[in-house]
């Protein structure tokens, strides 16, 4: 990959003037901590209602460049955590190629309802559209696209309404709603999932899915850029019940 002429590296910039928390910045890319509930773009639902979307805030993240950054991938509206933005067309081209080739490692944290019967494994279930007119609504389909997710149990808890488990999930493919459908099909839907789980449409705990970390091999002569996002407030009670300790949580970004 092309090295920036004058690299600028910054970690965990939590400037209150910024519209979203900034976890990492250099001359090629930004990594932000996307809040849960913020759509990445103005899709059909956002068009029907006047609600903020990520693209409304990108001008504030130019940091002196003439063009605003662009998202190099997507997170679902209700998923929080690490989202990569390319700062200019050359960066976007390189980032898009790395995402297409599967060279960017992503790890998600999820709290699920139920207890997996093993501590780690691979979910290998093809996915297809549940309805042709709703492309985001997915199901396990033997005729669908190959889809694989690696999982690891990080903690378990009894829970007030049944057992809970805290998982680290690594998507080896990038299908729509892959992690949510794979967990639900395995018998442990995500806590707060109102589509594939048992959460109510209103008043639930919020989807317990967080893009915890991302590792981007952007520069030939450097180790991959590794960035972590702290879990959002709506997930912390369930994570603590499963053994997560907030006291050991520190912002982390390595160039």
Enzyme catalytic residues: 76
Evaluate if residue 44 carries a pLDDT over 60: no
More confident residue, 168 or 4: 168
Least reliable range by pLDDT among 8-12, 28-32, 52-56, 232-236:
8-12
Rounded to an integer, the average pLDDT of 99-115 is: 96
The pLDDT tens digits of the residues spanning 154-197 come to: 999 997 889 999 999 999 999 999 999 999 999 999 999 999 99
Evaluate if residue 222 carries a pLDDT over 60: yes
Percent of the chain with pLDDT over 70: 86
> Is 174 exposed, middle or buried (CB count within 10 Å of its CB: 0-12, 13-18, 19+)?
middle
The residues, any chain, with a CB within 8 Å of residue 195's CB and separated by 6 or more, are: 137, 177, 180
- Count Cβ atoms below 10 Å from residue 64 Cβ, excluding itself: 5
Where do the domains of the chain lie, and which CATH numbers do they carry?
Answer: 10-254 (3.30.2350.10)
Rounded to an integer, the average pLDDT of 129-153 is: 90
More confident residue, 159 or 62: 62
């Amino acid at each position: 990959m092309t090295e920036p002429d004058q690299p600028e590296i910054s970690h965990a910039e939590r400037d209150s003037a910024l519209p979203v928390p900034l976890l990492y910045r250099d001359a090629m890319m930004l990594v932000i901590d996307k809040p849960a509930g913020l759509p990445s773009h103005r899709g059909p639902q956002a068009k029907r209602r006047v609600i903020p979307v990520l693209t409304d805030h990108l001008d504030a993240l130019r940091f002196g460049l003439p063009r605003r950054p662009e998202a190099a991938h997507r997170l679902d509206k209700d998923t929080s955590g690490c989202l990569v933005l390319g700062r200019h067309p050359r960066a976007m081209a390189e980032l898009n190629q790395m995402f297409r080739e599967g060279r960017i490692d992503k790890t998600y944290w999820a709290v699920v309802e139920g207890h997996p019967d093993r501590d780690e494994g691979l979910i290998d279930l093809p996915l297809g559209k549940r309805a042709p007119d709703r492309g985001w609504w997915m199901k396990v389909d033997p005729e669908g696209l190959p889809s694989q997710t690696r999982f690891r149990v990080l903690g378990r808890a009894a829970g007030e309404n049944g057992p809970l488990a805290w998982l680290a999930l690594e998507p080896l493919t990038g299908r729509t709603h892959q992690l949510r459908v794979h967990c639900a099909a395995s018998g442990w839907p995500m806590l707060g999932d109102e589509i594939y789980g048992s959460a109510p449409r209103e008043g639930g705990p919020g989807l317990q899915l967080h893009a915890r970390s991302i590792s981007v091999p952007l520069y030939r002569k450097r180790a991959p850029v590794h960035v972590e996002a702290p879990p959002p407030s709506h997930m912390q009670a369930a994570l603590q019940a499963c053994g997560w300790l907030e006291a050991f949580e520190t912002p982390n970004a390595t160039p």
